[in-house]
Structure 1
Amino acid sequence: MFTIEHDFDATIITLIDEGGPALREDITIRAADDRVSVVQFDPDSQTEVVVTLSLSQLRDLAAALDLPEGSYRLVRKAQ
């Protein structure tokens, strides 16, 4: 399950784990104009863990999910 909210400066997506007996904490994704942050509460340390990706890193991640093992460089086409 997930929710989507639109703030004035970002889109916020919350992923809610509904699978299996070992449920994980919710994940919040905040997409701004120049970056995407992924936040998850860590119950062991009682803190939020934040990972921030540039839009270039996010594009690479999206492409990597569909590629076999190897080293790649994405080249953007001129528009």
Structure 2
Amino acid sequence: MEVAPDHIYMLVEYDPQHSISQVVKAFKGRSSRYLRQEFPELLKLPSLWTHSYMFDTTGKVSTQIVLEYINDPHHG
């Protein structure tokens, strides 16, 4: 995972029985809950995340290549 000012990069392996939208919804929902518990002032906001997301598959690219991309400060 890499956190940028306006987005987050994540490399996730998930069960193909679930859709990517279910996975994203779970990440956003749980992280919103934890953040609001830790920072109660966030309870004033109607939501912490937008409904949008972008995903891509790694295909035949190795995990190491993806991690190097995520950790490269010059790509974003």
Q: What TM-score bracket applies, with the shorter chain setting the length?
A: under 0.3
TM-score by length of 2: 0.26
Larger relative CO (CA 8 A, sep 6+): 1 or 2?
2
Q: Which has the larger radius of gyration?
A: 1
Q: More helix by proportion, 1 or 2?
A: 2
Q: More strand by proportion, 1 or 2?
A: 1
